[in-house]
Amino acid sequence: MRGGTTTLFSRSDGLVVGYVETDSFDEAKKAIDSSEVNERWQQEMAAYFEPGTDPGARRLTEYFHLD
């Protein structure tokens, strides 16, 4: 992803959390959503998500930050 970094974390119970830093979340999301790789990933991962849910990137509200 241009202008950013991505990190994935997983727990032994299957919880996976991704962390993304980017100059523009909206531009990054647009690029991800329009990529062929994302379409293949969505198809492959569909079995791991509740039917009717969107497993795509969502922006969360930061509630704590410590430098």
Higher pLDDT, 6 or 58: 6
The answer to whether residues 2 and 24 touch, using CB atoms and an 8 Å cutoff, is no
pLDDT in tens, 5-52: 778 888 898 888 888 788 888 888 888 888 898 889 888 888 877 777
pLDDT at 4 over 80: no
Tokens 């119970």 sit on residue: 13
Assess if residue 56 is contained within a domain: no
For residues 29 and 42, what is the distance between their CA atoms, to the nearest angstrom?
14
- The pLDDT value recorded for residue 48 is 79
Please give the tally of structural domains in the chain: 1
Assess if residue 58 is contained within a domain: no
Assess if residue 11 is contained within a domain: yes
Assess if residue 63 is contained within a domain: no
Domain holding 10, by residue range, is: 4-48
Assess if residue 12 is contained within a domain: yes
DSSP string, 27-66: HHHHHHHT-HHHHHHHHHHGGGS-TT---S----------
Whether the pTM exceeds 0.75: the reply is no
